[in-house]
Chain A
Amino acid sequence: MRKLQIISTLLLFLAEVAACFPGLSMAGQIVAAERPFHTPNSENQESPSFSPLKSVELLVLETGGPGPVRLEFRIELEPGWHLYWENPGDAGLAPAVRWKLPEGFVAGPLLHPVPKKSVDEGLVTYVHSGTVLLICDIAPSPSDQAGRRWEADAVLEWMACRESCIVGETAVRTVFPPAAESIRKARSLFEADRPLFPRPLSESGLTAAAAEAEWTGAAWRIKITLAGPRVSQADDFYPYPLKDYVIEHAGVSCHNGKIVLPVVPSRGSGSPPPVEVGGLVILGGTGYDVKVHVVPK
């Protein structure tokens, strides 16, 4: 924020200086389940039995055949507490699941709703609060017979924070095939919450060209350029986690269709930039999924 103020001040000054030299028109061109059990394992100020997760349900949204089985963790958090997005930011830990599924079934990654960005003491985190939905697609075994009984057992590992943090895990289970009424209820709840999830970038009317990476001496400065009629409304960018690089979250910005993403390579200054980067472009409160290839400048 302080940097932005400095830059704005400089731009104003520059504009004034430029005005002194009518031939110099630089100012305009400056670009610059069921029955969950909770096992919190912290000894914080809360009572030992306290869990910031008021309830956790594992609901069935899609039963598969054809297509994956789609399950939803519906988590109710106590007021003031938050969980973390898939990229927690400068601190925290994203939720994870240990699955126990029939042989040959494969669980995909957790799909998160668009988080809220929190900036506190210069630390940037991406968090979920209130009712938190996490989606997981499960690919049944190719030899699975439709309609047979099976169970999905999940242990949700979480870190929840308010002033302090608690880590714990919650076990939930659902049985297939579920009752038609429970699916109908789960789908109806999910429909109301669908806008909380990221949407494809194409739905925003924006496009993203390949990103350019420039080495600054300590980090790769990756620039993604957006185009489209609403480009000036894109006001933030929440990056996805990046293996083998550390994102400097405080330096991430999105202004006038230019996304800047500074990343430090884990293996030192001789490392190439990441091949691909991605994240959510935030436009009008909605998150749009973008993934682009990176080209060194």
Chain B
Amino acid sequence: MRKTCLMKCVLFTLAFAVAWLAAAAAAPLAVGDLAPAFTLKSIDGKIHSLAEYKGKIVVLEWTNQGCPVVQRHYRTGLMPAAQRAAREKGVIWLAVNSTNPGHSNYREPGDLQKIYTDWKAAYTLQLMDADGATGRAYGAKTTPHIFVIDSRGRVAYNGAIDNDPRGDKADRTNYALAAIDALLAGEPIAVTTTQPYGCSVKYK
């Protein structure tokens, strides 16, 4: 009886440890957390990893060319303008495409190259994340969904690109650019987390 109870105690402790670790792993990515590492192929066929941008501010923008909210941001020129403004400040801007190949929104890298060139995209790279592993690691929910990573490799902003979900505000705040400006000035970021808006990421 005593032996069985001892065994149960050990098993319980083990189960508790496993559960605690699992819960920690499943916890949403919070501002201040280390940005999960990734290695992905860009739409021009080259392999890139987050580690190669160590020491720089990096923006991750989840994208899907078939999402009307993404289309609006590119066609109105808002997203390319934000990308240009960020890159002029030395920021790396990575668009990440987690659309699964079985989805009707999926496009091959060559097609994406053409579409985003037509839209005058000014990101540094667009990366393919067809299995969605990187999107899930970050908890990317929508297209667009923005993460700003500071030069120490920590998440500094997580959320919407701006405060204008319907695209009808004359005076909008671009949260990504505001976060970048604060980081470059060494000041606290006023808004660090917002509700992203748009289509759901089309995970596998």
Contacts and interface: CB of A to CB of B under 8 A. Distances in A.
Contacts of A42: 68, 71
A20 to B, nearest CB: 4
A264 B165 contact: no
B15 A91 contact: no
Contact of A91 (B31, B104, B142): B142
A29 interface: no
B166 A93 contact: yes
A92 to B, nearest CB: 7
Interface string B24-40: 00111011100000000
Contacts of B9: 17, 20
Contacts of B191: 266-267
B59 interface: no
Nearest to A165: B199
Interface string A259-287: 00000111111000000000000000000
Nearest to A163: B104
Contacts of A123: 141, 200-201
A26 B23 CA distance: 23
A96 interface: yes
B26 to A, nearest CB: 7
A233 interface: no
Interface string A17-53: 1001100000000000000000001111100000000
Contacts of B23: 3, 6
Nearest to B9: A17
B203 interface: yes
B67 A165 contact: yes
Contact of A17 (B5, B30, B66, B103): B5
A45 B104 contact: yes
A164 B105 contact: yes
16 contacts: A3-B22, A20-B9, A44-B105, A88-B197, A92-B199, A93-B69, A123-B141, A164-B66, A164-B104, A166-B68, A167-B69, A218-B28, A265-B193, A266-B192, A268-B192, A269-B31
Given A3-B26, A10-B16, A20-B5, 9 more contacts: A2-B26, A13-B8, A13-B11, A13-B15, A16-B8, A17-B12, A91-B141, A91-B201, A266-B193
Interface of B: 1, 4-5, 8-9, 11-12, 15-16, 19, 22-23, 26-28, 30-32, 66-69, 71-72, 103-105, 136, 141-142, 159, 165-166, 188-201, 203
Interface of A: 2-3, 6-7, 9-10, 13-14, 16-17, 20-21, 41-45, 88, 90-93, 96, 120-123, 125, 157, 159, 161, 163-167, 218-219, 246-248, 250-251, 264-269
Ranked nearest first, the 7 interchain pairs of A and B with the lowest CB-CB distance are A20-B5, A91-B200, A218-B30, A42-B68, A167-B68, A165-B199, A6-B19
